[in-house]
Amino acid sequence: MPLHHVEVWNDLSDAGTLTADVAVIGSGAGGAAVAGELSRAGLSTVVLEPGDIPHPYGFGAHLRNAYPVEEDLGTGFGPRVLEALVPYARAAATLPALRGQRFAHAVGGMMSYWSHVCAVPDHATEAEPSVPEAEMRALWAEAARLLWSNSTVGAAGVRQRHLRRLLGQEFTGLPEGRGVQPLPVGMREDASGQARYSGIDALLDGGQSTGPATVGIVPGYAARQVVLTGGRATAVLAGAVAGGRALRVEADAVVVAAGALGSPAILHASGVRPPALGRYLTDHSMVSSRVRLSAGVREGATADDASFGVWIPSSGERPLHTQIVPGWTEVAGFDRSVPARETADIGQFVAVDPDPDNRLVFGEGKPGPWGLPSVSARFELGAADRDRVRAAVADHVRVADTIRDTSHGLGVSVAPPGGSLHLMGSTRLGTEETGVADGNGRVWGTDNLYVAGNGVVSTRTTSNPTLNVVALALRTARAVAQGR
Ligand SMILES: Cc1cc2nc3c(=O)[nH]c(=O)nc-3n(C[C@H](O)[C@H](O)[C@H](O)COP(=O)(O)OP(=O)(O)OC[C@H]3O[C@@H](n4cnc5c(N)ncnc54)[C@H](O)[C@@H]3O)c2cc1C
């Protein structure tokens, strides 16, 4: 896909200062959604990113496009994803309280590797309270379109048909629209019929095709501080990750979208410290297993059976997201002699209550990564969170027993905190007391400083977060454009 309006500025040897309408910190889902929307509105952005271009298969494209065959997921794609996932700021180890947390420090952030599940949240229980319902639903629909979300993946597949039938018979009585259904996935076919999965190329699409570039991406530079004068952001100070060279980006507005650990660290370093900053961390407890599919699911499936993806969405009575998909990681203890196409991964995301005591702590004056303060975390599940995990494990076994070959064992695992890769809440939307930013993502006490990405989520959710945070980032981009 030609992105004429995007340039990657690898060589900034002459530039001590850059200018743009808007400075965006971080090139993941939040940052790219903002930059794309601003570009479509005709505004220019400079996007700072400490990572590099992650692979040679097209700018912003998803790595999976290089592995079109389902059988290659576990052997080719999976190992490359695991290699790319590192502790925050490439530290030697993850934070002890968030042992499972990893990031992808690359242009595209985690979206270069995500599993492209575009789950639409349950409005009644998961939507941001600061966004009116009709607008939130419209934003989710826009985000789904931008992310190439569609629910037809595997429609022609035999395994898909059997999985939906068996699970539909077992899980009945769920609310309208929230029953067993095809999993929405960010994928579309190109002109030759080849599946293309969405990366940030999808979010940046649609800018002008002639004239100067409106999105300038600067790999290898980490933001250290936003410069503010009387509540007005005027510039971002950044440093080259490799060499210490400094860069100043002057802009009319700044959007901080550096991930759930990076964004609060940058605000803290900039002296912007609303009471909720780094607090109310929330996550998805993740329960997972790999199963050999039962003979009933495999019946009639040939070697070229279309891929599959089945979803049991969260709903009020069932605060649990369940997805059944082909696996891409090695699973300890699972019989390696079972061919990949006879297996499925069952993944569940379980709600965690936002709790102000689950928080990040920034080391005052102590040097941390990339010139930012050092960070530590306190994160513990409460009694209600633990009860939900127990219920999810029981539900998980029920899902597994409906579709699995019971002559193989079943190992159900609960990931360590952060292991879902969905850490949220550290720069949450809310009131001045309970939030870092208002419903438009504008940081309290500032005129033109905004946040985007997973950190903005303030509610207890179970749906994979990207569609929701892209939707909220579109709202933020429009507020930025309007505020200029
Ligand atoms: C393997 C995998 C599978 C996933 N599957 C799904 C899925 O199916 N569905 C779903 O919804 N979600 C999924 N996710 C999660 C999803 O990718 C993330 O929720 C989402 O991409 C987060 O976007 P973000 O912008 O908040 O953060 P990030 O993607 O982390 O982007 C933040 C960016 O900011 C950069 N940054 C950090 N510090 C600085 C700094 N000081 N200055 C400048 N930039 C900085 C980082 O390098 C990074 O590129 C998956 C993630 C992974 C890794």
Task: Report the nearest-CA residue for atom 36 of ligand 1.
Answer: 258
108 CA distance to ligand 1 middle (Å) = 8
Residue-wise pLDDT for 85-102, tens only, equals: 999 999 999 999 999 999
The answer, yes or no, to whether residue 2 has pLDDT greater than 80, is no
Q: Between these two residues, 159 and 211, which has the higher pLDDT value?
A: 159
pLDDT of residue 163: 98
CA of 423 to the centre of ligand 1 (A): 10
Q: At residue 484, does pLDDT exceed 90?
A: no
Ligand 1: residues with CB < 6 A are 25-31, 48-51, 81, 85, 103-105, 109-111, 113-117, 222-223, 257-259, 262, 266, 370, 421-422, 453-454, 464-466, 469
What residue's CA is closest to ligand 1, atom 39? 258
- Ligand 1 centre from 89 Cα, in Å? 13
- In the block, which residue shows the tokens 């969260």? 314
- pLDDT (average), residues 371-392: 97
For residue 19, the CA-to-ligand 1 centroid distance in Å is 25
- Report the pLDDT value the prediction gives residue 156, as an integer from 0 to 100: 86
**Ligand 1 pocket, mutate which of 94, 110, 117 (most atoms under 8 A from CB):** 110
365 pLDDT more than 80 = no
Token pair of 307, please? Answer: 């891929």
What does the pLDDT read at residue 193? 86
In the prediction, which pLDDT does 245 show? Answer: 87
CA of 22 to the centre of ligand 1 (A): 20
pLDDT for 332: 87
Tokens encoding 265: 């660290």
Query: Cα(30)–Cα(60) distance, rounded to whole angstroms?
Result: 14
Diameter of the chain measured on Cα atoms: 68
CA of 405 to the centre of ligand 1 (A): 35
| Mean pLDDT across 204-212 | 85
Atom of ligand 1 nearest to the CA of 85: 53
pLDDT, tens digit, 9 for 90 and up, residues 114-156: 999 999 999 999 999 999 999 999 999 999 999 999 999 888 8
Least confident of 218-232, 318-332, 360-374: 360-374
Instruction: Write the pLDDT tens digit of every residue in 449-463.
Output: 999 999 999 999 999
- Return d(Cα 240, Cα 89) in angstroms, integer: 13
pLDDT value at position 364? Answer: 73
Determine the distance separating the centroid of ligand 1 and the alpha carbon of 297, expressed in angstroms.
Answer: 34
Q: What global pTM score does this model have?
A: 0.97
Res. 298: pLDDT tops 90: yes
Residue type, 478: R
Among 302-311, 340-349, 359-368, name the one with the lowest average pLDDT. Answer: 359-368
pLDDT at 13 over 80: no
CA of 128 to the centre of ligand 1 (A): 20
Paired residues of 285 in beta bridges: 350
Domains of the chain: 9-147+198-282+354-380+419-484 (3.50.50.60), 153-185+284-351+382-416 (no CATH)
pLDDT of 366: 74
Q: Compute the average pLDDT of residues 408-435.
A: 97
- Taking only the tens place, the pLDDT of each residue in 417-426 is 999 999 999 9
User: In which band, very low, low, confident or very high, does the pLDDT at 1 lie, cut at 50, 70 and 90?
Assistant: confident
Return the structure tokens found at 185.
Answer: 């996935």
* Average pLDDT of the chain to the nearest whole number: 95
pLDDT at 330: 87
| Mean pLDDT (whole number) for 355-362 | 97
Ligand 1 atom showing the smallest separation from residue 372 Cα: 41
Query: Which ligand 1 atom sits closest to the C-alpha of 467?
Result: 11
pLDDT in tens, 219-268: 999 999 999 999 999 999 999 999 878 999 999 999 999 999 999 999 99
